[in-house]
Amino acid sequence: MSDELYPRDMLRTASDIRFAGTLPEAGGTATLDNPFCGDRVSFDVTLEAGRIKSLRHRVKACVICQASAALLAAEAEGRTADDILNLGDDLMAGLKADARPLLPGHPAFDLFSGITRHRARFACVLLPFEALEAATRDAEKATS
Amino acid sequence: MSGFSAARLRAEYPILNIETAPGVALHYLDNGATGQMPRAVLDAIVAHETTARANVKRSVHTLAERATNAYDAARDTVAAYLNVPALEVVFTAGCTAAINLVARSHGDLLAPGDAIAISELEHHANLVPWQMLAARRGLDLVRLPMTAEGRLDLAALPRLIDQRVKLVAVTHASNVTGAITPVAEVAAIARDAGALLLVDGAQMAPHGPVDLPALGCDFYVLSGHKLGAPNGVGARWGRYPLLDAMAPLMGGGEMIRTVKFEASTYARPPQRFEAGTPPIMPAVGLGAACRFLSAIDHDGAMAHQMALTGRLIEGLMRIAGNRLRLIGPESLDDRLPLVSFVIEGTHPHDLCQILDRRGVALRGGHHCAQVLHEVFGVAGSARASLAPFNDEGDIEACLAGIGDAMKVLLS
């Protein structure tokens, strides 16, 4: 049964494991917790000319966070840490404003449209953005 | 509300209908100590406590979501009141807590030999935390003087705020003299010296929205109860990079990122500085107070209050004559509607006690500004501090009460 908050596509996206796992050759890595519930997201990344070349994630989190990590991973290649930061900020603004699309240029994130009335869950959507940004900055630091 | 009407505004404050004794109406002229609460704030508090009382950011049930939304919306409203991003607004227990937070967390970034410049006009909340910091970190305190009429002496600042000074702390408006500080000019002087500027907005913020980007300061603090919100909440604004460089003052829930047994990492601002369950209902009340105050015609309200202030000063001069000493400017320019005074031969507390018989609420004492009173050469003063809802009846009652007091105390 589909649900406003948990549409069938979200469950499908959350089970997308194409980018799950570790990168043995990772140039940067970061693990962040959702401070409110303890959910945990880790990202490993490699960079090429300051941009994400490859990545893998490990997500011990709710369905919403899993889906967000999967969507972000699929759209992250070629982006910088600042790009990821800006994407997260834009998505936060979209969630607060109940905008359509939630994230301009990235219609896939409308998957989270049902969350806009549930402010406590915004952190679930945004945790992967913060973790990926941190991992990318870690990789930047290693190459600088 | 468009077009200012004190009578219409008075109707919004239930407490103004009370009698302090049978047949004695309240004339509240102690707004500088605590602002009264309009019905809109009372309603917002009751609505929150009866439909949304829960902890924030934790549970996902309906009440918790309502509480989280209300708390976040309150931050958005306070941010809009100050014309700054919400991420830069930290809820605190009040102004004192907000200044102590900066003194502790930013103060830890200062090095022995650095200096902090503070004016003689300051409330103890904007002096004592810096004294404590100076003692803790081996810093010097630089005293910024005021003029004879109780305004910050701008001409003295370029000489005193030198390269050693890393932070300047001044009030936006004195709680004793009522003088409004030209903050943008102080900010320019501080910036030239490479110093940051903290502004205490406790007295100014209740008089309407504050355009912080136009002021050019780096930190700004305000006190909720002075805006007509509940006690126990205030706000500290700081530029985000400054907040991000600061360590938290208190540790606990809500302010963490990851906790392990040996050590923890911290959340980003503003959560980094909001350990534990925050003052949820008071913050909701503060948001409602900001909305209420934003809707007032402030030009009209200030013109009304300045007319009353002028009437009060003229009346004091008429009644007390040579015994009167104003602790602050006589002019109505660049000041708040606040008048502190001494009547020779009377003690401020005795004066205020007799005023209370007529339902007139004034404050007497040093108003937590002992240094300022020392410079003026008096131990304390009586203070009438106005709000937009005050009217001619309040001023006439005050002047009549002062006449009473002089008869009793000077006969």
pLDDT tens by residue, A63-74: 999 999 999 999
How confident is the model at residue B59, as a pLDDT?
83
Q: With a cut of 50, say whether residue A112 has pLDDT above it.
A: yes
Kindly write down the DSSP assignment for every residue of B89-136, as one continuous string: EEEESSHHHHHHHIIIIIGGG--TT-EEEEETT--GGGTHHHHHHHHH
How confident is the model at residue B303, as a pLDDT?
97
How confident is the model at residue B324, as a pLDDT?
98
> Is B58 close to A120, i.e. CB distance below 8 A?
yes
Last residue of a domain, one of B294, B318, B337: B294
pLDDT tens by residue, B142-151: 999 999 999 9
* In contact, A8 and B230? CB cutoff 8 Å: no
**Given B217, B290, B368, B398, the catalytic residue:** B368
Do B20 and B58 lie in one domain? The reply is no
Size of interface A-B (CB pairs under 8 A): 34
C-alpha B411/C-alpha B399 separation (Å) is 18
* Chain A nearest C-alpha distance from B69 (Å): 6
Q: How far is CA B121 from CA A15, B95, B342, in A?
A: 63, 16, 17
Do B366 and B223 lie in one domain? The reply is no
Residue B37 domain-assigned (yes or no): no
Tell me the pLDDT band of A1, cut-offs 50, 70 and 90: low
Mean pLDDT of chain B: 96
Residue for token pair 């708390």: B71
Residue for token pair 């002496």: B153
Last residue of a domain, one of B262, B294, B326: B294
Helices (H), B209-357: 212-215, 240-244, 280-294, 298-320, 348-356
Pairing state between β B338-343 and B360-361: unpaired
Average pLDDT over residues B290-298: 97
> Is A35 close to B69, i.e. CB distance below 8 A?
no
pLDDT tens by residue, B141-186: 999 999 999 999 999 999 999 999 999 999 999 999 999 999 999 9
Kindly provide the ipTM of the predicted complex, given to two decimals: 0.74
Nearest chain A residue (CA) to B69: A119
Does B65 touch chain A if contact means CB atoms closer than 8 Å? yes
Do B17 and B59 lie in one domain? The reply is no
* In contact, B363 and B30? CB cutoff 8 Å: yes
Do B98 and B220 lie in one domain? The reply is yes
Q: How many domains does chain B have?
A: 2
Nearest chain A residue (CA) to B59: A120
* In contact, A125 and A95? CB cutoff 8 Å: yes
Tell me the pLDDT band of B258, cut-offs 50, 70 and 90: confident
> Is B60 close to A36, i.e. CB distance below 8 A?
no
Do B135 and B236 lie in one domain? The reply is yes
How confident is the model at residue B18, as a pLDDT?
97
Q: With a cut of 60, say whether residue B287 has pLDDT above it.
A: yes
Does A118 touch chain B if contact means CB atoms closer than 8 Å? yes
Q: With a cut of 80, say whether residue B370 has pLDDT above it.
A: yes
Does A60 touch chain B if contact means CB atoms closer than 8 Å? no
How confident is the model at residue B97, as a pLDDT?
97
Query: Is B95 annotated in the active site?
Result: no
Domain limits, chain A: 8-143
Mean pLDDT of chain A: 94
pLDDT tens by residue, B308-367: 999 999 999 999 999 999 999 999 999 999 999 999 999 999 899 999 999 999 999 999
Tell me the pLDDT band of A48, cut-offs 50, 70 and 90: very high
Does A33 touch chain B if contact means CB atoms closer than 8 Å? yes
Class of CATH domain A8-143 = alpha beta
Residue among A6, A33, A137 with most chain B CBs within 10 A, to mutate:
A33
Q: Which domain holds residue B356?
A: 6-30+297-410
How confident is the model at residue A5, as a pLDDT?
85
Do B321 and B272 lie in one domain? The reply is no
Q: With a cut of 50, say whether residue A20 has pLDDT above it.
A: yes
On the CB side of B102, how many CA atoms lie within 13 Å of its CA? 34
Average pLDDT over residues A34-47: 91
Do B136 and B261 lie in one domain? The reply is yes
Tell me the pLDDT band of B58, cut-offs 50, 70 and 90: confident
Q: Which amino acid is at B246?
A: M
Do B73 and B15 lie in one domain? The reply is no
C-alpha closest to that of B26 among B387, B382, B356: B356
Tell me the pLDDT band of B376, cut-offs 50, 70 and 90: very high
- Per 3-state DSSP, chain A is made up of helix, strand and coil in percentages (nearest 5) of 50, 20, 35
Residue among B55, B56, B57, B66 with most chain A CBs within 10 A, to mutate:
B57
Tell me the pLDDT band of B1, cut-offs 50, 70 and 90: very low
SS3 A42: strand
Nearest-by-Cβ selection for B257 from A32, A117, A121: A32
Last residue of a domain, one of B240, B268, B294: B294
Q: With a cut of 60, say whether residue A47 has pLDDT above it.
A: yes
